[in-house]
Amino acid sequence: MPLPSERAFVPFVSVENMMRLVHDIGPEEMMAGLADAIEADFRRWERFDKTPRIAAHSEIGVIELMPTSDGETYGFKYVNGHPANMRRGLQTVTAFGLLASVETGYPLLLSEMTLLTALRTAATSALAAKWLAPEGARSMAMIGNGAQAEFQALAFRRICGITEVRLYDIDAEATHKCARNLAASGLRIVPCTSAEDAVAGSQIITTCTADKQYATILTDNLVGAGTHINAVGGDCPGKTELHRDILLRSDIYVEYPPQTRIEGEIQQLPQEHPVTELWQVISGAAPGRQSAGQITLFDSVGFAIEDFSALRYVLDLLRHTPRFEALDMIADPADPRDLYGMLMRAR
């Protein structure tokens, strides 16, 4: 056996351990914690190295890497998006991520991120709504009742104080699943049979559907004055959810414009169309909602800093709870030039 000192062990959070962590804390509390971590990192936005995610597209989906660094810690996420997977009994989105030391390049954490992405996406959506949704918003339309939906509903309950969710999906089975999962949440659950029915009386509309096309989940006539729209599903080139006319009536808030202009709802608009970056609202550099009648739109695509914040949050948790395995991932011979010697000693 090689000597232990010749291998650097990396904490690995499996799906099993991620689920335990979420249950230790509670899903809503964990999303509140993630929202705080993301908000803290958005306040120091300018410290981060930023780049649009690197994508490899195919006819049926996309595979992406999302790197960033705050100068001390480096992070990346691998994520896919395959809308047709669901019909094959597979997830549309799966992910894993890594943190590493900028000083040495050595990994600090490897984690599953399919669950963590759902948690961080919902936390980011609710964080944006905390700054942008109309005062006293209590009802949210949830259009698209797939894998992300319950996380969105619970994050909005915990962080924004909504009390009602109006569910709609083209597949009634998805709505039943979502209603069943949220039955004991304390939210009033209203299953709806059309998008029009779902948005009736809602101050917040979340769209979270998956289809690799320019879809029109919402038409302009469905969006009343004062609404906050949380558009989550349109997140890669050729994949949008909102009719263009809605965008023209809205004040649009984005994560990182160079990425959102490629991937978000605003791919339908000219490059020069004005948008506000969410971090600017959070740091006080730009205004959020300014009037009760304003339509605010968070054009969410998911940005690397949110994953970085989520991974750092998880790494902090591991200091207090042993929900990880030590992964034998890095060969680190005592004499750094004697990698071959290490191999021979293992014989």
Smallest Cα–Cα separation from 300: which of 244, 245, 228, 197? 228
Is residue 316 involved in binding ligand NAD (CB under 6 A)? Answer: no
Residues paired with residue 168 on neighbouring β-strands, in sequence order = 143
Is residue 169 involved in binding ligand NAD (CB under 6 A)? Answer: yes
Find the shortest distance in angstroms from Cβ 264 to ligand NAD: 8
Measured distance CA(342)–CA(327) in Å, rounded = 18
Is residue 230 involved in binding ligand NAD (CB under 6 A)? Answer: no
Out of 235, 299, 316, 328, pick the active-site residue.
235
| Residues whose CB falls within 8 Å of the CB of residue 273, separated by 6 or more in sequence, listed in order | 247, 252, 266
Sheet containing 62-69: order of strands: 54-57, 62-69, 73-81, 95-101, 107-112, 7-13, 325-331
Residues binding ligand NAD: number (CB under 6 A): 28
Measured distance CA(143)–CA(306) in Å, rounded = 23
Contact 300, 239 (CB under 8 A): no
Q: Which is nearer to ligand NAD, 118 or 162 (CB)?
A: 118
Is residue 81 involved in binding ligand NAD (CB under 6 A)? Answer: yes
Is residue 170 involved in binding ligand NAD (CB under 6 A)? Answer: yes
Question: By CB under 6 A, what part of segment 90-109 binds ligand NAD?
Answer: 92-93
Find the shortest distance in angstroms from Cβ 177 to ligand NAD: 9
DSSP structure class, residue 183: T
Measured distance CA(37)–CA(42) in Å, rounded = 9
DSSP structure class, residue 319: T
Find the shortest distance in angstroms from Cβ 337 to ligand NAD: 43
Q: Which is nearer to ligand NAD, 93 or 133 (CB)?
A: 93
Q: Which of 109, 140, 143, 246 is in the footprint of ligand NAD by CB under 6 A?
A: 143
Find the shortest distance in angstroms from Cβ 100 to ligand NAD: 23
Residue that the structure tokens 């390049």 belong to? 105
Is residue 150 involved in binding ligand NAD (CB under 6 A)? Answer: no
Measured distance CA(220)–CA(327) in Å, rounded = 51
Q: Which is nearer to ligand NAD, 168 or 324 (CB)?
A: 168
Q: Which of 113, 133, 140, 232 is in the footprint of ligand NAD by CB under 6 A?
A: 232
Question: End-to-end distance of the chain based on CA atoms, in angstroms?
Answer: 7
Cβ-proximal residue to ligand NAD, closest one = 146
Measured distance CA(258)–CA(255) in Å, rounded = 9
Amino acid (one-letter) located at 337: R
Residue 299 annotated among the catalytic residues of the structure: no
Contact 166, 139 (CB under 8 A): yes
Q: Which is nearer to ligand NAD, 160 or 232 (CB)?
A: 232
Is residue 235 involved in binding ligand NAD (CB under 6 A)? Answer: yes
| Residues whose CB falls within 8 Å of the CB of residue 44, separated by 6 or more in sequence, listed in order | 70
Find the shortest distance in angstroms from Cβ 216 to ligand NAD: 8
DSSP string, 215-277: EEEE-GGG--TT-EEEE-S--BTTBEEE-HHHHHHSEEEES-HHHHHHHSGGGGS-TTS--EE
Q: Which of 278, 301, 304, 315 is in the footprint of ligand NAD by CB under 6 A?
A: 301
Q: Which stretch binds ligand NAD (CB under 6 A): 85-93, 97-105, 157-165, 329-337?
A: 85-93
Is residue 259 involved in binding ligand NAD (CB under 6 A)? Answer: no
Question: By CB under 6 A, what part of segment 196-225 binds ligand NAD?
Answer: 208-211, 215, 217
Q: Which of 34, 137, 147, 281 is in the footprint of ligand NAD by CB under 6 A?
A: 147
Is residue 148 involved in binding ligand NAD (CB under 6 A)? Answer: yes
Binding site for ligand NAD (CB under 6 A): 81, 86, 92-93, 117, 121, 143-148, 169-171, 174, 208-211, 215, 217, 232-233, 235, 300-302
**Active centre residues (catalytic):** 235
